[in-house]
């Protein structure tokens, strides 16, 4: 997987010139995921932690966008550009928890504007991602 630290540059390189274009662009999801992963890497380096975030995918289609190492295990994080939280996002995280025994917490980073606690996971906005990462770090 290749991530750009500058999502604006990545957007420009694929021809996106306005926020309206971005909303309808087929690369909106990958660009949003790129923005979140960029924040994870910057957070890690700023804390001189150098955590090795990774993703997970099985041959039968089960995937998790980010496995973030914490002192109590792995945090499973899904990254979704949608502004409305979907129950399907939590279903995927439940499957990940059943598949990987070392998962200690779960979260969703999404394109909405309200962070919230849910039964299965914490849902945070991209702007609140650093707050989530601070809560996961030892």
H-helix or E-strand containing 66?
A: strand 63-70
Pairing mode of beta strands 116-117, 103-110 = unpaired
**pLDDT for position 77:** 97
Q: Where do the domains of the chain lie, and which CATH numbers do they carry?
A: 7-136 (3.40.1350)
> For the whole model, what pTM was predicted?
0.89
Instruction: Tell me what pLDDT residue 1 has.
Output: 62
* Complete edge-to-edge strand list for the sheet that includes strand 103-110: 54-57, 63-70, 73-80, 103-110, 122-125, 116-117
| 10-residue averages of pLDDT along the chain (138 residues) | 78 91 92 94 83 86 93 94 94 94 96 94 96 88
- Identify the three-state secondary structure at position 56: strand
Let me know if 3 is exposed, middle or buried by CB neighbors in 10 A (0-12, 13-18, 19+). Answer: middle
CB 129 within 8 A of CB 40: yes
- The token pair that represents 97 in the structure block: 């928890």
Instruction: Count CB-CB contacts under 10 A for residue 105.
Output: 19
């Amino acid at each position: 997987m290749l991530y750009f630290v500058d999502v604006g540059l990545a957007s420009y390189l694929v021809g996106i010139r306005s926020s309206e274009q971005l909303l309808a662009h087929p690369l909106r999801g990958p660009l949003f995921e790129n923005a979140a992963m960029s924040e994870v890497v910057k957070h890690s380096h700023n804390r001189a932690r150098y955590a090795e975030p990774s993703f997970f995918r099985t041959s039968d289609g089960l995937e998790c966008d980010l496995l973030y190492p914490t002192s109590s295990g792995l945090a499973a994080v899904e990254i979704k550009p949608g502004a409305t939280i979907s129950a399907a996002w939590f279903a995927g995280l439940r499957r990940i928890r059943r598949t990987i025994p070392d998962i200690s917490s779960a979260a969703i980073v999404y394109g909405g504007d309200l962070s919230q606690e849910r039964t299965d996971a914490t849902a945070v906005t991209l702007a609140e991602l650093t707050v989530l990462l601070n809560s996961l770090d030892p």
